[in-house]
Amino acid sequence: MRVLVVEPKKAPYVKEVGEELPDLQKEVGGFIEAVYPFEDDAAIICNEEGKQKNLELNRALFDRDGEVYDIIAGTFLITGTREDSFGSLSPEQIDRYSRRYETPETFLFEGNRIRVKKELPKAERNEQRFYKNGFTLSVREDPDPVSPRRSFDNFGTVVIFDREIPGDKTEFTDPDAFFLDRLTEHFGSGKRAEAYLSASGALNLPKGVQNRMIMAELCKDHVFLPVYRYRHGGDALSTVPYSDPWDSGQIGWIYATREQVKERFGTWNDFTVPLCKQVLENEIQTYSDYLKGENYVYDLISDRTGEVIDGGLWTGDIESLKAFAFNGIAGRQERRKERNGEEK
């Protein structure tokens, strides 16, 4: 029969073993004991005297609350179960329990409490694992991340004049061309936009003052936030200035129109405009995280069943990912139950 063999300090592996009692005793090194910690048709076969013989502690068993209630000592098998005997695991079970027990464990005893520490193999040093309330969050670097300006359904539009960092619109090579485009939409006429720019230029104001005057006019039906770049061992973006004037400066804007705000929030007023700004700030933060290399692939795994209950791509810091993954566990489980019910 086809089973999983789980040895201390090693990842599980598949093996064909005999179904007779002597075959199973040989695999675990003594009298066998069957344990049934799983919700499907599977069992653990271990050495009944593993702890008495001081065999090396192997893997922990967890209760429904994620607390350790026992530790298996020595090599054990995971088998399928039939009505009155053991049998081969299905391919799905092999995948599930290979993932569940893939990482060797060590144990710390603190009074009556047992702490489980996962020991990642060197080959998996790119992976980080976090544990909470009976769940494991596996986080790995995304080997081929896609820019959130391409992969997400973004609310704002990013215009950047620094060609080292692509914006959403690339036809503008300088602020003047961008202002003309936005003023044309604002006034509903290219001639009126050109006349406005000509009149503001005739005032002979400093360039910065003239730009602020144009922005004030545009903000009657646009929401604008500046985009600043910080270069220091990589790139970072922000909607507020950095304190280092030598390695930072404004490189463009992110904006949304009045119609976009009304479509998103239902109306344009003193309440929805700040909400719009918050969305734009978040989009720039996500883009900054992407540029800084904070791009991950994650799986959220139930320690009790070995099932992956959520997973995907994440752009942002790992602490935010941990909060997102662990805080939403209950809701994800309910949605999975609903989907499974619909599928049945």
By DSSP bridging, strand 57-62 and strand 135-141 are unpaired
**Residue 333 clears pLDDT 60, i.e. is over it:** no
The answer to whether 28 touches 56, Cβ cutoff 8 Å, is no
Q: Mind listing the pLDDT tens digit for each residue in 170-193?
A: 888 888 999 999 999 999 999 999
Helix 175-187 to helix 190-202 angle (10° resolution) is 120
The answer to whether 180 touches 194, Cβ cutoff 8 Å, is yes
Q: Tokens 């980080």 sit at which residue? A: 128
Does 198 or 116 have the greater pLDDT score?
A: 198
The reply to whether 46 and 87 lie within a common domain is yes
In 3D, which of 217, 227, 338 has the Cα closest to residue 277?
Answer: 227
The reply to whether 205 and 247 lie within a common domain is yes
Q: Cα separation of 329 and 165, whole Å?
A: 36
pTM recorded for the entire structure: 0.60
The reply to whether 169 and 272 lie within a common domain is yes
Domain count, the chain: 2
The reply to whether 178 and 117 lie within a common domain is no
Predicted confidence at residue 344, as pLDDT, reads: 41
The answer to whether 223 touches 215, Cβ cutoff 8 Å, is no
Classified as helix, coil or strand, 211 is helix
Radius of gyration in angstroms for the set of CA atoms belonging to the chain, rounded to a whole number: 29
The reply to whether 16 and 96 lie within a common domain is yes
Q: Cα separation of 294 and 119, whole Å?
A: 24
Residues 6 or more apart whose Cβ sits within 8 Å of residue 40: 93
In a domain, 207, yes or no: yes
In a domain, 179, yes or no: yes
The reply to whether 197 and 248 lie within a common domain is yes
**Residue 304 clears pLDDT 60, i.e. is over it:** yes
Predicted confidence at residue 121, as pLDDT, reads: 53
Q: 123: pLDDT confidence band, cut at 50, 70 and 90?
A: very low
84, 107, 122 - which closes a domain: 122
**Residue 37 clears pLDDT 80, i.e. is over it:** yes
In a domain, 342, yes or no: no
Q: Cα separation of 133 and 120, whole Å?
A: 20
In a domain, 64, yes or no: yes
The reply to whether 200 and 257 lie within a common domain is yes
In a domain, 307, yes or no: no
The reply to whether 231 and 167 lie within a common domain is yes
In a domain, 59, yes or no: yes
Residues 6 or more apart whose Cβ sits within 8 Å of residue 16: 1, 2, 3
C-alpha to C-alpha distances, 85 to 65, 82, 344, nearest whole angstrom: 30, 5, 29
The reply to whether 166 and 118 lie within a common domain is no
Q: Given phi > 0 = left and psi -120 to 50 = alpha, else beta, which region is 262?
A: alpha
Predicted confidence at residue 18, as pLDDT, reads: 92
Residue range of the domain that includes 22: 2-122
Q: Cα separation of 113 and 299, whole Å?
A: 27
Here the tokens at position 300 are 């959220």
Stretch 80-90: mean pLDDT:
90
Here the tokens at position 45 are 């076969």
In a domain, 130, yes or no: no
Q: Cα separation of 245 and 268, whole Å?
A: 35
The reply to whether 176 and 45 lie within a common domain is no
Q: Which of 20-29, 102-111, 231-240 has the lowest mean pLDDT?
A: 102-111
The reply to whether 153 and 285 lie within a common domain is yes
DSSP 8-state code for residue 105: E
122, 139, 169 - which closes a domain: 122
The reply to whether 63 and 173 lie within a common domain is no
In a domain, 237, yes or no: yes
Amino acid at 169: K
Q: Mind listing the pLDDT tens digit for each residue in 201-213?
A: 888 889 889 989 9
